Every structure is written in structure tokens, then in C-alpha cells.
Amino acid sequence: MEAQDRIKAQLMDAADLDRTLERMARQIIERAALDARGEERLALVGMQTRGVYLARRLQAKIRAAAGLEVPVGILDVTLYRDDVRLRAHQPVVRPTHIPFDVTGRHLVLIDDVIYTGRTARAALDALMDLGRPAAVYLLVMIDRGLRELPICPDIVGRQVPTLPGEEVRVRLREVDDREGVWLVETARTPTP
């Protein structure tokens, strides 16, 4: 957590996260089965940072459950965000690595939390600069509501309605000191 965060509730522990990822992997497999060439046209794209690790975990679960080898790409949307020039600090740009052609593929775009929809919009812009996917499905671990854009995820781990001043923190062992999901109250003022 961040130093100024006050934990209000732990929403998911490591076991809950794993169970939710199992369900989400099955939902992805079902979507691939609807398309006659699903396994050869399906790919996962994790958004920096935690979406990348969720995508890799989903890739392993899909392989274990259905024997499908689904490629994973990494997408950084920092420079596509509509608020990049409004931020007081210099943004950190992380690598984008998509080792496959996105054109004609069914992509599952993966992020940890959806809030306003602006990050998902930026991701769609970034993907369109790389080619023309057949379809893009949005998968999020947490949907916290309060959308500002008409963007709705296709696969959701859990819906967590939040109030102004509340945020949801997803923490993963690959990058954090703990594993789980927490509802926190923050002292920060939201970025426009």
C-alpha cells in the first residue's frame, strides 16, 4: 500500500485471486471456442504493470485447462493517455512488446482495475496503431465503477463500487510485497 492509504477492507486474498483467475481463464477459453479458429487467433495483451502479470498467469491457466498456447504481449499506454500533459511529474514509460501481428486476432486486453475508462481508451488507441484486431475484449480483475467514458469490460473478476476518496489496490507477488486486493481510503486528490 501507499504510505497515505488507510485500509478499509481486504476484498480478496491470494486464494481468492487464484480462484478468480481460474474462472476468467475458462471464460477466455469459451470465447475462443466460439470462433472456429479461436486458438490460432487468440492472444492476451497485459497492460503495464500488473496487467502483464495477470496475463502471464492467465496464459498458464489456459495452457493447463485446455492445452492452448496463447501468446502474451505487453502494452504501455502512458503516452496515449489524455492526461499525460496535465500531470505535474514526468511520466514513466515502460516497454511495449507485442511479439505477434495484432491484425485479424481476437485480443484479450488485461488490466488490474478499471475506473474512469480512460486507460482502456488509451490502450485501444495504442492497439489500433499496431494493426486492426478482429476483436478486442477487455478483462479486468476489479471494476470499481464511476466510469467517465462509455467503456465496459467483457470479463470482470469482481465489481467493487467505490466512493470518492476510495481506491482499490491490487497487489501481486511478482511486483509487490503481498498478494490480494484491498479497498483503501486515500488522502490524495484525484487526477483530472
Q: What is the pLDDT of residue 192?
A: 46
Is residue 155 a contact partner of residue 137, using CB atoms and an 8 Å limit?
A: yes
CATH code of domain 15-80+97-160: 3.40.50.2020
Q: What is the pLDDT of residue 111?
A: 98
Q: What is the pLDDT of residue 40?
A: 74
> Dihedral, CA atoms, 134, 43, 125, 93, nearest 10 degrees?
-170
**What is the model's pTM?**
0.92
Q: What is the pLDDT of residue 179?
A: 98
Say which residues have a Cβ less than 8 Å from residue 82's Cβ, sequence separation at least 6. 118, 121, 122
Cell 479497498 belongs to which residue? 183
φ, ψ of residue 143 to 5 degrees: the values are -110, 110
Query: Beta strand 42-47 with 6-12: parallel, antiparallel or unpaired?
Result: unpaired
Cα 189 to Cα 192: distance, rounded to the nearest angstrom = 9
Domain spans in the chain, listed from the N-terminal domain onward: 15-80+97-160
What tens-digit pLDDT sequence spans the chain (192 residues)? Answer: 788 889 999 999 999 999 999 999 999 999 887 765 656 799 999 999 999 999 999 999 999 999 999 999 999 999 898 876 666 677 789 999 999 999 999 999 999 999 999 999 999 999 999 999 999 999 999 999 999 999 999 999 999 999 989 999 999 999 998 999 999 998 765 554
